[in-house]
Amino acid sequence: MAILLAFALGLVTGGIGAREYFGLGSRPLGSPSVKATLPPSVAAAQSDIGKVAQAVIASTVYIESYSGNEGGSGTGFIYRADGVIVTNAHVITPTGEVAKEINVTVPSGERFTAEVLGYTHDYDIAVLKIDAKELSALPLADSDTIAVGDQVVAVGAPLGLAGTVTTGIISATNRPVRSGDAEIQSFINAVQTDAAINPGNSGGPLVNMSGQMIGLNSAIAQPVNSNQQSVGSIGLGFAIPSSQVKHSADEILDKGYATYPVMGIMVDMSDRRAGAKVLEDSGSTKGIVAGGPADNAGLKAGDRILFVNGKRIGSVTEFIVYLRSLQAGQEVAIVAERNGEQIEATISLQEQRAK
């Protein structure tokens, strides 16, 4: 079945309306506990999940973004105890531009106006600051150490129901994902999970059973021709790996912006064959940036990149996602096809400011 990706962003009509409808108001974000007599093995498993959930809820926030009558709601997590919050870029830009008013509700129920320190649509990451101290920062794990089958917990605010906890496993890693629309697109080397992710979960943490963040929930799959406003979880959720979240967030905190690595080429996004085709020259549009890394390595317009660092490239999206998982300054080994023959090149990646 063909699928497309939708941001897991709650609309104002859903997010705010839901909190009012369910009478949540400004109540703390935690959930009431339910006691029951269970078999020891089940009780132990639920106890583990409960402990993780309790710890992570204390580091998860609810975010509302408005520009006039338009806006959306989502989730975020406490990155630093001094009020630094990390979420998705699309949570704070529900209309395509940074919302004029962004409010953050912390687990105690206290509400703050947030300042945007920086964001990148390329990686779909934003960093906010609220005037709060001694918050409970969420620890991050190395996402390179996770494995398919690992149990995970997702915390978020689907339809504005903050402090909602779902569980599942890691279904896949290094899943090349492109989300957004024609104007704003994000390319994610994603962690895939079957934990229920719904509109409003965007920007919430996906954590391991040690309560450490391994991914930032960002997108969900939906059947083609379905209405994004009505989409819900079908067991295909995607999160930005914690290693990328940390790298981009730290760059924003240090520089005010994030960066990504480039080869100095333009690729043909309409091409459907395996590999990534360097765009053919057409008028003033050039496939190779003059004097850039690819130009210096001898690549030419029309070349088809087949392998990067020994990794077979299945599509242009896979190429962009893999490239953006690397760092500027790294050297990559390229195998490309030109006129039916294979050529090899070594390219040193340059840094470019992310949008």
Residues with catalytic roles = 90, 124, 202
Rounded Cα distance, 129 and 80, in Å:
10
Provide the residue type at 275 as one letter.
G
DSSP string, 134-148: S--PPPB--GGG--T
DSSP state of 272: -
DSSP string, 177-199: EEEE-SSSEEEEEEEEE-S---T
Rounded Cα distance, 101 and 116, in Å:
10
Give whole-number Cα distances, 2 to 5, 224, 225, 226, 334, in Å.
Answer: 10, 6, 10, 11, 31
Rounded Cα distance, 10 and 119, in Å:
19
